[in-house]
Structure 1
């Protein structure tokens, strides 16, 4: 899945760099505020793709003494930075540009190049979005699409989906602004389109901040995974009592699992360790994203003494 996520980001990066250049050229020819906002939007998206790639690379570094659980959460940090840039540079500058053109309206020129650039941009952005959606659908659950996107643990995919969706919405708004501005001969429509594009980017940025924050502070695995682990372990013949599993995402495809288990009181030490090893194998086979498992075995041999067992790759 990581490789597919990278391809989605590379596709978005290539599309946004080319589109940003063309949008700014069209804006300089036509004087459209909405086109300037769209150029800013594509430029910010290009930088965001680079930051996501940086985050993915740094998150794959091996564990060390200072980070014994690895650097997987770094991808969540860079996703937060991307969200901040979308909010400040994308949304803020687009709103500023629109307000500036409301205060100092400029006569719009021939919109021909605006239409050409916007339609071509829709094609590139749409292709990038469709690829990201297709890759996301390979692993999503049975809930609604946007609900699943909100629950996703892979920023590389959900960031592209959010950004490309915002890009399509922005292009539609820009197209309407340019058309209405020339149809009525009033540049106010073009300036309002720029403000609306900024508001769309602000809304997307706030959504991404919310998603990134949940993952940074330690978000649990999906409910289906947690319940599946509970059912798998509690059905084991050696387990008398299992408390609710505790999970946390260390990376999009790396889950930390902590289990509090009461095994049969008649088990020997050898049987206990054998039972724990068996549980570890069963869990990792059924749920391959679970990479680190900590099992606390209680009430062993009729004594209320915890045995902390670590099971890792």
Structure 2
């Protein structure tokens, strides 16, 4: 499989993970909503709202990926790849506001106005069912992340990857699993102690988890949204190419900007041998561009400036 095919496969896998998570959450919303009605649990209601927000988030991510696939035009000469980052940031905001803040509000309300939980069997059954579904979705995310991380550690990859869509889905799913565990514990403690304030604290705990994940996602996506440099592998590849080309005597500078999960803008200034004519320089640059794109197909825009002078800072 060539590199372009691999990049297309990554895009397809990203969409598949989003669709998978969306379908899982639709089923979970229905089951959690029914259980919240049957038990009167605040933690269960918080989880229902959380899963509803996740459904909206995944629809936004799919929309963002569709926007990012639009070709470049006069108004957006570098394409629409960064649309994914914008919608990923919006997902983080929705997770913070609709999911996290509502869960905290519901927890405070239930704590100040405690109501006994009942029909606990419905709640536990639905929560275990939801854990199975969310756990499977999270496991699928982890498998895909492990495929992409290469030699990086798992958490290092989470901090440095440009695949914001997959990171957002992983963040949502892992937060959902943790939230479900908190909801089960809160429901059980509340039921067996007869004190529904434990259920309210469960809702508060879910809110804290969601807000923490939302803040992490917002910080990571913000860096991409305002123009983060591409992976260092691109600079390393450029340096390798230059070492092999005797007509290039120095890499003066290299600037990269991530324009989307798999689209990079590269600007390079090189020092060339002084005996080259215009035709030789053109051929040199064309060969340099061809080799870099062959090795790093994510380099979609490449600008190379030749120079003959000693460079000073």
TM-score (norm 2): 0.94
Residues 228-279 of structure 1 deviation map (CA, whole Å, 9 limit, x = unaligned):
3223224421111102421111111111111010111111111111111111
CA RMSD of superposed structures (Å): 1.4
Describe the SS at the equivalent of 2:301: strand
Structure 2 CA distance for aligned equivalents of residues 225 and 137 of structure 1: 21
Mapping for residues 117-266 of structure 1, pairs under 5 Å: 117-266=126-275
TM-score (norm 1): 0.94
Describe the SS at the equivalent of 1:172: helix
Who is 1:113 aligned against? Answer: 122
Determine if the alignment matches structure 1 residue 44 to structure 2 residue 53: yes
Structure 1 CA distance for aligned equivalents of residues 282 and 310 of structure 2: 17
Whether the 8 Å CA contact 2:247–2:273 is kept in 1: the answer is yes
Determine if the alignment matches structure 1 residue 69 to structure 2 residue 78: yes
Whether the 8 Å CA contact 2:237–2:292 is kept in 1: the answer is no
Whether the 8 Å CA contact 2:124–2:184 is kept in 1: the answer is yes
Who is 1:295 aligned against? Answer: 304
Structure 2 CA distance for aligned equivalents of residues 232 and 255 of structure 1: 18
Structure 2 CA distance for aligned equivalents of residues 180 and 226 of structure 1: 55
The structure whose RCO (Cα within 8 Å, separation 6+) is larger is: 2
Structure 1 CA distance for aligned equivalents of residues 249 and 256 of structure 2: 21
Who is 1:30 aligned against? Answer: 39
Whether the 8 Å CA contact 1:230–1:244 is kept in 2: the answer is no
Structure 2 CA distance for aligned equivalents of residues 234 and 94 of structure 1: 57
Structure 1 CA distance for aligned equivalents of residues 24 and 142 of structure 2: 16
Who is 2:7 aligned against? Answer: none
Structure 2 CA distance for aligned equivalents of residues 136 and 235 of structure 1: 34
Describe the SS at the equivalent of 2:148: coil
Structure 2 CA distance for aligned equivalents of residues 111 and 233 of structure 1: 68
Structure 1 CA distance for aligned equivalents of residues 257 and 227 of structure 2: 6
Who is 1:309 aligned against? Answer: none
Whether the 8 Å CA contact 1:79–1:155 is kept in 2: the answer is yes
Post-superposition, which runs of at least 4 consecutive aligned residues in structure 1 deviate over 6 A? none
Residues 175-217 of structure 1 deviation map (CA, whole Å, 9 limit, x = unaligned):
1101111121211111001001001000111111111111111
Whether the 8 Å CA contact 2:22–2:55 is kept in 1: the answer is yes
Aligned length: 302
Describe the SS at the equivalent of 1:243: strand
Structure 2 CA distance for aligned equivalents of residues 244 and 184 of structure 1: 67
Match of 1:2 among 3, 11, 30: 11
Determine if the alignment matches structure 1 residue 88 to structure 2 residue 97: yes
Who is 1:279 aligned against? Answer: 288
Who is 1:310 aligned against? Answer: none
Using the TM superposition, give the Cα deviation of residue 303 of structure 1 relative to its aligned residue in structure 2, in angstroms: 11
Describe the SS at the equivalent of 1:247: strand
Structure 1 CA distance for aligned equivalents of residues 253 and 120 of structure 2: 62
Unaligned 5+ runs, structure 2? 1-9
Classify 1:178/1:303 alpha carbon distance in 2 versus 1 (closer, same or farther; 3 Å): closer
Classify 1:303/1:38 alpha carbon distance in 2 versus 1 (closer, same or farther; 3 Å): closer
Using the TM superposition, give the Cα deviation of residue 226 of structure 1 relative to its aligned residue in structure 2, in angstroms: 2.2
